[in-house]
Amino acid sequence: MLTSDTFSIKLYYVFRPEGEATATRLSEEEIYEEAKKRVKAKRDFYVHLGVYICVNIFLIINWAFPAGAGFPWFIFPLGGWGIGLVFHFLEAFVFEQKLDRAAIEKEAEKIRRQQR
């Protein structure tokens, strides 16, 4: 029961940029859109991983079957592309668009201030 000296409210924290707590409650449509973006990012990573594996297997076979094989040149594209794949993994599974959300919220707040 609420009296004149008590007040309660539920806040949902979406993100905390640089220690600042910003409370925003997402609608069901916004939650669905956010989930959809995350699923797409994860699916895109798995496609990238599959292509990486297939192409690099082809490169290793191409290196291994000629007579003498020679210097293992395939390690350069394998390593370089592997670094990109690690960053793609981090974006899809670790950071989960938190940086984008912070930037979007910052720009939205700028627009709100300009309209006042």
Task: Tell me the domain boundaries of the chain.
Answer: 26-115
Provide mean pLDDT across the span 78-104: 84
Q: What is the pLDDT of residues 6-26, one digit of tens each?
A: 555 554 444 444 444 445 566
Confidence band, pLDDT 50/70/90 cuts, at residue 96: low
Q: Give the containing element (helix H, strand E) for 1.
A: none
**Rounded CA gap, 62 and 74, in Å?**
9
Q: 14 and 101 in contact (C-beta within 8 Å)? A: yes
pTM of the model: 0.62
Is the pLDDT higher at 27 or at 90? 90
